Structure 1
Amino acid sequence: MKKIVGLLLITLPMYTSEAQQTANPLLQPWKGNYGGVPAFGTYSLSDFKPAITQAIAERLREVDAIAQQKAPATFANTIVALERAGKTYQRVRAVFELYSANLNTPDFETIELEMAPKFSEMSSAIYQNAALFTRIAAVHNGKEMDKLTPEQKRLVQTYYAQFVKEGALANAKSKQRIAAINKALAGLFTQFSQNQLADENQQYLLLETEADFAGLPQELADAARQEAQERQLKALGCIANTRSSIEPFLTFSSQRSLREKAFQLFVNRGDNANAYNNNATVVAILKLRAEKAKLLGFPTFAHWSLSNTMAKQPQRTLDLMLSVWEPALLKVQDDVKAMQQLIAAEGGTFALEPWDYRYYAEKVRKEKYAVDANEIKPYMQLEPLREGMFWVAETIFDLTFAPVTDVPVFHPDVRVWEVRKKSTGKVVGLWYFDPYARKGKRSGAWMTAYRDQSRFDGEVLTLVSNNCNFIKGKPGEPVLISWDDANTLFHEFGHALHGLCSDVNYPLLSGTNTPRDYVEFPSQILERWLSTPEVLNRFALHYQTGAPMPMALVERLEAAATFNEGFSTVETLSSALVDMQLHLLENPEIDPKTFEAEALKALRMPKEIVMRHRIPQFGHIFSGDDYAAGYYGYLWADVISADATEAFTVDGKGLYDPVVAKRLLDYVFKVGNTLDPEEAYPKFRGKKASTAALMRARNFPVK
């Protein structure tokens, strides 16, 4: 979201002289090819405070000049001027966010805690700038709107809606309180994230005997040994407290007691009796959000948060989630029954527990479909699969990727590719790839844009990055990833393609800057290409022989495609439902653990499954506002994704149909937010999306 600064007084400490600030590497324009790139390797932690201070001050001056113009407000002197403002700030903030997610050290944490509220103060100031909003409203309500292009109108409407949502129409007293709330929230978001990262970095599972490695694939065992060496531990091996390490361990370890320890370690992040417990932070965030929503005229934070999404109202999201929840529960019941029978057949007398689910689900899949994860994984080499992504990007989206070595990177693991349109040879941007887990890097996988594509003020190339947490293993050996990790790889690359395909004029409308419950659609549909024979036969190559995945295995994978959908749906939807219920509270004076337990009980949550993100570790909704009351967006987008897939597979000639692919590019990946998704999607599909395709895709009964 674009952030603009206004007239509220912000006290900014002066850390260095003006001459010293000018020499600060973070403040320098990005230089080199591709319109300039971040000068990684020149930045120091000591640069951040003075750079942020000067960048905010500069942006304040630029926007204040726009607000105080004497000339009547026009699209050019107000809206376009705002798009042009804040370039230094955008560069500094991009590097700051990169450090926060990827290079977060104790020294940086101190800087982050101090400076994050400054960003919030700046944002509040601009949204509450009466003179500036008067000019935006004058353009929005004026006769000039009739002469603007559709994209220009959309830009004006987006600015106007953002300002209204953030309190531009509130009274002076409310504005003052909203600004204070935003500042407090910024600090709490940072504290939440740092607490979660601390539990992930500082806690781990030791493997102390050879028996502790029982059941683990060789590459996972090797990675555990490598992790212990890097941490300088005396144990034989170490399982890091991140999803990319814990979930494979839960899937393959035959040591039930160790599975339980690993599970408890992971699900209790942020909920331990230590300095990093997040429960009080969560309640503080919820209370401030509820207060802010009321000040802005909304009954709850959920109503406020959804006001600029496709869903619009919380009830629509609840109706969708519950319509999928019930069939998912039935599927889980059948799956648990099959796993319990397997336990009994092995002579076990225990009831299936959450730390057993992945282990026995894998056994059932192997028995039912003759699909063994250990049979699949030798073909899941990271590098060939990355080449497979590039091939899909070329085939479907007209993009080619070529490695470059003259672009600075922030870590030796990071590599960079130049991206061109195949049909014209035109460079459209750079793709940075940071695949491996390391200390100081938050868990999970994500896409980020260091710079958005635009051309209103000269051609500006986008710079996008995919960041993952794959286990690196021994030096020089191929990196093997799980099938789920491969899906994640394609998913995040879908976000990157959304940015790289962007072909719009204005950065506020560029790439992934779409409504939150639409932005996951391009990433989720890209996952569909991974399982196609065209990709698996060419890029799923055995790490020892180089042979492609046999067609018989591909066919078995297709047959097992919807296996365990009940588990994955319940795991994710429970988090989304609890998220929405938390943010529908008018008075969130709660005990998070009690609230979570009671909410799940009311949903009839299977005891064998836990939320994918328990409340004290739910970074999507408590490390910022972007996904708060918005985790449902993954399901909302998957409804659209499943429907869009049928444009290829049912109405078209398959996933490589060039006619359908061209429509997908033209009306989804290229247009950013220049079209309302309610308008853009039917242009691609010829109709609105329905839930029926999702139910078919998950092998749930269609009513």
Structure 2
Amino acid sequence: MRNPLLEPFDLTPFAELKTEHFKPAFEKALQQAREEIDAISNSETPPTFENTIEALDYAGYPLERISSVFFNLNSAETNPEIQALAQEISPMLAAFSNDITLNENLFKRVQAVHETTDAKLLSPEQQMLLTKKFKHFQRNGALLSAPEKEELRAIDNSLSKLKLTFGEHVLEETQKFKLHLTDAGDLDGIPEPAKEAARMLAESEGKKGWIFTLDYPSYLPFMKYATNRGLRKKMALAFGSRAFHGDELDNREVLIKIASLRQQRARLLGYENHAEFVLEERMAKSPLAVQKFLADLLEKALPAARREMEELTEYARKTDEIKSLEKWDSAFYSEKLKKEKFDLDESELKPYFELNSVLKGMFEIAGNLFGLYFKKDTDIETYHEEVQAFRVTDESGAPMAIFYADFHPRPGKRAGAWMTSYKPQFRKHEKNERPHISIVCNFTRPTKNTPSLLTFNEVTTLFHEFGHALHGMLADSTYPSLSGTSVYWDFVELPSQVMENWCYEPEALSLFARHHETGEVIPELLVARIRASSNFLEGIATVRQLSFGMLDMAWHATDPSEISDVKSYENQAFGDTMLFPDHPETCMSTSFSHIFQGGYSAGYYSYKWAEVLDADAFSYFSEKGIFNREVADKFKEFILSKGGTEDPMDLYIRFRGRKPDPEALLKRAGLVGTSS
């Protein structure tokens, strides 16, 4: 059988791919990668930067490409066969990773280069690669004894399977819940597009009435607008109790095993806990620094959050005689209060944010700032008919990237939004290989009567993921492991979060915020209301975000081996951040995929950390003009193109001329005054 993955390919051959292609492709690519590693480690030539460090970074490229395709599909277009194969493939890849870092001959060569090479003879990027390669071996078991190395292998094997299981449980729990309504009265308050989408879903399942799900484009409008409080409660409890039902999809035992194995791994490698291991390679450097950062922000945000809670509670009491404000009341009364205070209704904004128009405007902004141009190409194969593909060029017409965009929820696609890549950028043999970048979202679907109209939150999410994509597309490094988003996790959110700022600027909004029927640019009055409401309930939002970071640190900065009750431990971690009454049937940890499945373990704080950077960075654009090409060129040169080739703080200082000022975030969030 011909296997397209075993033939050289640039564009991913999605149209020819079948699930049965993957296992033989992995086996062949693993064999080839092992041969490349063996050639490096067994070489009789004295070790040099080129024949050891550089060769190691380029080794296993076909395996990386195949892995990217497979695991991206497992997130965006999975099925039981792919999930079963993932459980088989992941331990194979974990074992291969261990084979590299625990290879004594290879480590001796890396160590020799590290100890004997004159750093002055290397470029800054080469110096960084050498340092990272040596530390990677050190941090992943190269100095362990033989029995300890076997223990590490067993831990990594188990973790590779458990993280997949965690994600599979969350996906299945999210997709199995359906609120089927047949009484039109139960839809009171819900906007017509959301009702139409629910009706179409019911129709697709051969049912009358309307079906609402826990996918965000269905869940969020229901929670914001449905006047039926009992149904809002039902939805909220279903969302908050995912993988927390004491059945075969319950994640409590899974996450305790993950946290415990991470702790064992850290101790084995000489660290106090998993957070200490992770943060050694972050801007924050230590758990103590993260905990202080979160505590300091909480101290400033909590008074504002409590004032906002009092205001929201009083509003609900006056409006509907609600005696106790619950989690399922938050979005509903927040939306009503926002309309009353700012005369701003989310449903009033949506007609101005038609998806294709927003996409076109976003591309225009990227052109104005960074000289990128996007041309849709229907000849590029995609993994689903809804996925769009674009060729990206610079101002001279030179190819820069392939960009895939996947916007709507469907079965087999996990919730949330993310950026990923199918091919990294790097240089080899004087050729600059350009990246293939993808963003995956779960936005409001078009209906028979209306196109896809985005909420303002969906607009900012799109710009956020596009910021990550720009970081990938504008990569300009030599080595694949330092390219694009291969940076410290508490730095990686800077490009994404800074791009959200353009969504609030009239000059930028005029490029894409147009009424989908009349073509009218969004009125200045609505823009003024968006800007005026940008800090609405910011205290509550900040405390919520900080609570997630604190929960993450609770799981990873302490020894979890004695934890028996996930729920009570979670409540203890939340502490003062719990603004709403708790409900015993809900649990955040069991569906906290960012830290138990994704790459944010001991790193969730980075969203807030990067907000400090992004607020300070955008203040530079604000001072000079949001489309100032000089500032944009500096951001492109020192932030977007450099990847992980230099220390991120050094890069930021070269962009900004100084270290970031935390006051910029506090001022933007309205948590301190704008003047001293």
Offset, 1:398: 1.2
Confirm or deny: 8 A CA contact 1:311 1:317 kept in the other structure. yes
- Of 298-307 and 202-211, more deviation after overlay is shown by 202-211
Pair 1:152-2:131 in alignment: no
Pair 1:112-2:91 in alignment: no
- Of 676-685 and 562-571, more deviation after overlay is shown by 562-571
Partner residue, 2:6: 27
**Matches of 1:337 and 1:154, distance apart in 2:** 51
Offset, 1:613: 8.5
Report the TM-score when normalising by structure 1.
0.93
| SS of match in other structure, 1:469 | coil
Offset, 1:26: 2.1
* Residue-pair matches, total: 671
Confirm or deny: 8 A CA contact 1:537 1:551 kept in the other structure. no
Pair 1:505-2:505 in alignment: no
**Matches of 1:131 and 1:536, distance apart in 2:** 57
Q: Which of 237, 241, 246 does residue 210 from structure 2 map onto?
A: 237
Partner residue, 1:365: 338
| SS of match in other structure, 2:65 | helix
- Letter of the structure 2 residue corresponding to residue 695 of structure 1: L
Partner residue, 1:124: 98
Offset, 1:678: 1.6
Q: Which of 198, 204, 207 does residue 224 from structure 1 map onto?
A: 198
Confirm or deny: 8 A CA contact 2:173 2:242 kept in the other structure. yes
Partner residue, 2:669: 698
Offset, 1:604: 4.5
**Matches of 1:440 and 1:101, distance apart in 2:** 8
**Matches of 1:473 and 1:666, distance apart in 2:** 38
Confirm or deny: 8 A CA contact 1:195 1:278 kept in the other structure. yes
**Matches of 1:570 and 1:551, distance apart in 2:** 31
Confirm or deny: 8 A CA contact 1:269 1:617 kept in the other structure. yes
**Matches of 1:588 and 1:230, distance apart in 2:** 47
| SS of match in other structure, 2:421 | strand
| Post-superposition CA distance 1:595-652 (Å, at most 9, x none) | 012222x33521258999810001011114x210110111111111111111122xx3
| SS of match in other structure, 2:426 | coil
Q: Which of 666, 675, 686 does residue 637 from structure 2 map onto?
A: 666
Partner residue, 2:151: 177
| SS of match in other structure, 1:139 | helix
Unaligned residue ranges in structure 1 (runs of 5+) = 1-19, 31-35
Pair 1:518-2:495 in alignment: no
Confirm or deny: 8 A CA contact 1:582 1:588 kept in the other structure. no
- Letter of the structure 2 residue corresponding to residue 646 of structure 1: S
| SS of match in other structure, 1:682 | helix
**Matches of 1:613 and 1:393, distance apart in 2:** 40
Does the C-alpha gap of structure 1 residues 208 and 665 become closer, same or farther in structure 2, counting only changes over 3 Å?
A: same
Q: Which of 660, 663, 678 does residue 649 from structure 2 map onto?
A: 678
Does the C-alpha gap of structure 1 residues 608 and 525 become closer, same or farther in structure 2, counting only changes over 3 Å?
A: farther
What is the correspondence of 1:521-560 to structure 2 with a 5 Å cutoff? Answer: 521-560=494-533
**Matches of 1:635 and 1:678, distance apart in 2:** 16
**Matches of 2:57 and 2:421, distance apart in 1:** 17
**Matches of 1:141 and 1:654, distance apart in 2:** 48
Partner residue, 1:17: none
| SS of match in other structure, 1:249 | helix
| SS of match in other structure, 2:643 | coil
Partner residue, 1:453: 425
- Of 353-362 and 556-565, more deviation after overlay is shown by 556-565
**Matches of 1:257 and 1:473, distance apart in 2:** 28
Partner residue, 2:69: 95
| Post-superposition CA distance 1:284-324 (Å, at most 9, x none) | 11111111100000011110111111111011111111111
**Matches of 1:504 and 1:604, distance apart in 2:** 42
Confirm or deny: 8 A CA contact 2:547 2:577 kept in the other structure. no
| Post-superposition CA distance 1:193-242 (Å, at most 9, x none) | 1111110111122222111211111111111112222333x241111212
Offset, 1:37: 0.4
What is the correspondence of 1:224-373 to structure 2 with a 5 Å cutoff? Answer: 224-232=198-206, 234-373=207-346
Partner residue, 1:7: none
| SS of match in other structure, 1:428 | strand
Partner residue, 1:565: 538
| SS of match in other structure, 1:634 | helix
**Matches of 1:392 and 1:193, distance apart in 2:** 35
**Matches of 1:644 and 1:167, distance apart in 2:** 38
- Percentage identity across paired residues of the two chains: 35
| Post-superposition CA distance 1:86-135 (Å, at most 9, x none) | 12211210111122101111122211112211111111111111111111
Confirm or deny: 8 A CA contact 2:567 2:587 kept in the other structure. no
Confirm or deny: 8 A CA contact 2:256 2:560 kept in the other structure. no
Pair 1:70-2:44 in alignment: yes
**Matches of 1:231 and 1:94, distance apart in 2:** 33
**Matches of 2:471 and 2:560, distance apart in 1:** 38
Partner residue, 1:384: 357
- Letter of the structure 2 residue corresponding to residue 505 of structure 1: T
**Matches of 1:517 and 1:609, distance apart in 2:** 30
Confirm or deny: 8 A CA contact 2:216 2:443 kept in the other structure. no
| Post-superposition CA distance 1:218-274 (Å, at most 9, x none) | 111111112222333x24111121233212211111111111011111111111232
What is the correspondence of 1:470-485 to structure 2 with a 5 Å cutoff? Answer: 470-475=443-448, 477-485=450-458
Q: Which of 153, 163, 178 does residue 204 from structure 1 map onto?
A: 178
Give me the CA root mean square deviation.
1.7
**Matches of 2:449 and 2:560, distance apart in 1:** 55
Report the TM-score when normalising by structure 2.
0.97
Confirm or deny: 8 A CA contact 1:283 1:589 kept in the other structure. no
- Of 535-544 and 252-261, more deviation after overlay is shown by 535-544
**Matches of 1:218 and 1:273, distance apart in 2:** 37
**Matches of 2:322 and 2:278, distance apart in 1:** 48
**Matches of 2:325 and 2:402, distance apart in 1:** 47
Partner residue, 1:418: 391
| SS of match in other structure, 1:308 | coil
What is the correspondence of 1:428-443 to structure 2 with a 5 Å cutoff? Answer: 428-443=400-415
| Post-superposition CA distance 1:150-184 (Å, at most 9, x none) | 11111111211222111222222221111110000
Unaligned residue ranges in structure 2 (runs of 5+) = none
